[in-house]
Amino acid sequence: MKQVSKQRTKWLVVLFSLVYAIIYAHVAQAHVGSSGVIVQRQTGKYRLLISVQPPDVVPGTAKVTVFVEQGRVSQIGARPVYFGSGDEGSPTHDELVRVEASRYAGDLWLMESGSSSVQIDLNGPDGKATVVVPVVSVATALRTMPEGTGIGLALMGLLLVVMMITIIGASNADGLVAPGQPVPATLRRRRLVGMAVGAVVLALVLTGWRSWWTSTAEDYKNEQLYRPMPIRSSVNVVDAQRQLTIQMDTTGFAKDWGKRRMLSYIVPDHGKLMHTFMVRMPGLDAFAHLHPNRRDTMRYEAKLPVSLPGGRYLIYSDVVYRSGFTETLTDTVDLPALKISAEAAAAAKRSDPDDSWLVTEPMGVKTDAMNVPHLDNNMVVCGKPGASVKLEDGSTMLWTDKPGKVLETGKLYNLKFAVADPSGKAAPLEPYLGMGGHAAILRSDGTVYIHLHPVGTYSMAAEESLVSRIADTSRRFHYPNANRFRDSVDAYVAKLNSLPDAEKNRLLMASMPQMNHNMAINNMVEFPYAFPRAGHYRVWVQVKRKGRVLTGVFDTQVDDPLL
């Protein structure tokens, strides 16, 4: 009987989730248009490309796909592991189904909101291996029931109500009459009275159910539906240099659980507490990758490059919390033009030694233009169409295997870039913030943004947090003292910034060994990504050479495959 009860409970949860998914059908904007996680990893003898598409309604199913690019595997299992409950409180593995020779796929139920992960275990002739994929499991969709479904359900509900009223009336009278005998007038009145009472009771029940459903829907919108942490950005002139201030907006923190964040438990990713990208609109012709310093729990500051022109800028700030929860904080800011002397410009300082920026040509298209190819400098590299741009040190960056001027939405690409010195020879690259390179991709209207790494679209700090949580055997995570934690993190970041590049990169790479993604040729870097929407995109690729951060800029058009 217990087993039957468990099965019934499981199916009730599934049914409730499906009804919820039907009723909320409008997709909300979150994570700046780039949902899902892509992981490219070499673990043991296996080389894997993993895609996890989380549900937009929680509880819901995540779609997990594993491409085995190298290695012999006979079985792949996957399970969700939540930061709150850890390894001990998580379900057992579900086996992924082999769809093609090297592709495995399956659905996983994510029952809890917040920071979670998908743990993938591989077993085969080439041994066992485990990969942890960080996943932010939050509700990002608000849906409405399709009109046809609503009409059908309403008619069925009305039929059930009429049948129930009829049954109540009959049970109140007809049972007192012998079979085959006519129903007396008094009993007919009694039947009508029973039907009237039944109608009143059902009306009260339905009114109560309606009130409960409305309250549940409001709780979903106000508490469960994900909303990014709001920020207020401003620019002031301090000592003849513009300074960006990012202030966390904690308005309503005490009452609004959808906004509340544990700001003291932000952790460094690649040694930085915040990665901020500034892009000037509408031409996307000015770009800056900054790392604001934390002044207090809610305020971050960064000195802006003197060469950045004035105008309106989009701001995307990536942060990671101790739980592994990651989010991008967005805002716009008006940057005033600033005229200063050559001496003052030479004396201008950076807030962080790893800050970088570039001013280049605008995209050359209107932000709402569609289906207009505009990629310049087309060339053929190794028999494939490609694109090339000149870098500030005279070297050239090549998009080596660009399939064509127009890419397709939803298709997984390995975006590969190579750097050649002015003589045309391979230019060796140095680690930049512990990795071979970084990339930022932005749709022309700013509605799609992603910060990419060679190992995928996820945060290194998030994986580190979730891996350590899985290793913890406790059922509940206990946060350390907030002040001591924040102070220790600030001291760690300050120490890293004071180190020479070689030592800093050595420490960063040692702290995230699973992130190593060595290329066969050390002048190349690649990024796995699938463009989520059609439109015009600008891609900034950042590498480091001879101690200098270099940024290459590429434009591409992305169309839906059916167009």
Give Cα 447 to chain centroid, integer Å.
Answer: 14
- Residue 121 burial (10 A CB sphere; 0-12, 13-18, 19+): middle
Cα 7 to Cα 11, 15, 107, 506, 512: the distances in Å are 6, 12, 19, 52, 42
15 and 108 housed in the same domain: yes
d(CA 215, CA 223): 12
Out of 167, 198, 224, a domain closes at: 224
CATH number of the domain at 114, please. Answer: 2.60.40.10
Cα 330 to Cα 168, 248, 272, 480, 522: the distances in Å are 58, 11, 18, 29, 34
- Beta strand 94-95 pairing with 97-98: unpaired
Out of 184, 200, 224, a domain closes at: 224
The enclosing H or E element of 95 equals: strand 94-95
At a CB cut-off of 8 Å and minimum separation 6, what does 332 contact? 233, 312, 313, 314, 315
Cα Rg, the chain, nearest whole Å: 29
Q: How many domains does the chain have?
A: 4
d(CA 457, CA 51): 10
DSSP bridge partners of 258: none
> 380 is written with which tokens?
């053929």
- Residue indicated by tokens 């207020």: 232
> What is the phi/psi pair of residue 469, to 5°?
-70, -40
> 232 is written with which tokens?
């207020």
**Contact between 552 and 540 (Cβ < 8 Å):** yes
In the chain, the N- to C-terminal Cα span, in Å, equals: 55
247 and 328 housed in the same domain: yes
Q: For residue 526, tell me if it sits in a domain.
A: yes
438 and 490 housed in the same domain: no
The enclosing H or E element of 345 equals: helix 342-347
- Domain encompassing residue 336: 236-362+458-513
d(CA 127, CA 60): 32
320 and 282 housed in the same domain: yes
Q: For residue 147, tell me if it sits in a domain.
A: no
Q: For residue 173, tell me if it sits in a domain.
A: yes
- Residue indicated by tokens 């590498």: 543
- Residue indicated by tokens 């950005």: 233
Instruction: Return the closest-CA partner of residue 271 out of 235, 342, 320, 208.
Output: 320
338 and 320 housed in the same domain: yes
Instruction: Return the closest-CA partner of residue 300 out of 327, 324, 272, 325.
Output: 272
Entry field: residues in the chain: 563
Q: For residue 404, tell me if it sits in a domain.
A: yes
351 and 383 housed in the same domain: no
pLDDT tens column, 330-381: 999 999 998 877 777 777 888 899 999 999 999 864 333 333 333 333 333 4
Q: What are the DSSP calls for 285-296, one per residue? A: -EEEEE-PEEEE
d(CA 300, CA 226): 23
Q: For residue 231, tell me if it sits in a domain.
A: no
469 and 450 housed in the same domain: no
Out of 117, 140, 163, a domain closes at: 140
- Residue 224 burial (10 A CB sphere; 0-12, 13-18, 19+): middle
Q: What are the DSSP calls for 379-422, one per residue? A: EEETTEEEEEEE-TTS-EEEETT---SEEETT-EEEEEEEEE-T
> 58 is written with which tokens?
């929680």
Q: DSSP assignment, residue 431?
A: -
Residues of the chain below pLDDT 50: 1-30, 365-385
Q: For residue 433, tell me if it sits in a domain.
A: yes
HEC states along 299-342?
Answer: EEEEECCCCCCCEEEEEEEEEEECCCCEEEEEEEEEECCCCCCH
**Contact between 356 and 308 (Cβ < 8 Å):** no
410 and 544 housed in the same domain: yes
d(CA 206, CA 553): 60
Per-residue confidence (pLDDT) for residue 272, from 0 to 100:
95
Give Cα 23 to chain centroid, integer Å.
Answer: 24
At a CB cut-off of 8 Å and minimum separation 6, what does 500 contact? none
336 and 371 housed in the same domain: no
d(CA 499, CA 551): 23
Per-residue confidence (pLDDT) for residue 518, from 0 to 100:
60
> 475 is written with which tokens?
């059922």
d(CA 233, CA 463): 29
Per-residue confidence (pLDDT) for residue 403, from 0 to 100:
76
DSSP bridge partners of 267: 320
Cα angle for residues 401, 402, 408 (degrees, 5° grid): 135
437 and 472 housed in the same domain: no
d(CA 342, CA 335): 20
* Cα four-point dihedral sign 78, 83, 51, 432: negative
Per-residue confidence (pLDDT) for residue 382, from 0 to 100:
41
CATH number of the domain at 437, please. Answer: 2.60.40.1930
Q: For residue 402, tell me if it sits in a domain.
A: yes
b/e per residue, 161-186, with b = 16+ CB within 10 A?
beebbeebbeebbeeeeeeeeeeeee
61 and 82 housed in the same domain: yes
At a CB cut-off of 8 Å and minimum separation 6, what does 477 contact? 83, 84, 86, 323, 469
69 and 118 housed in the same domain: yes
Three-class SS of residue 98? strand
Q: For residue 215, tell me if it sits in a domain.
A: yes
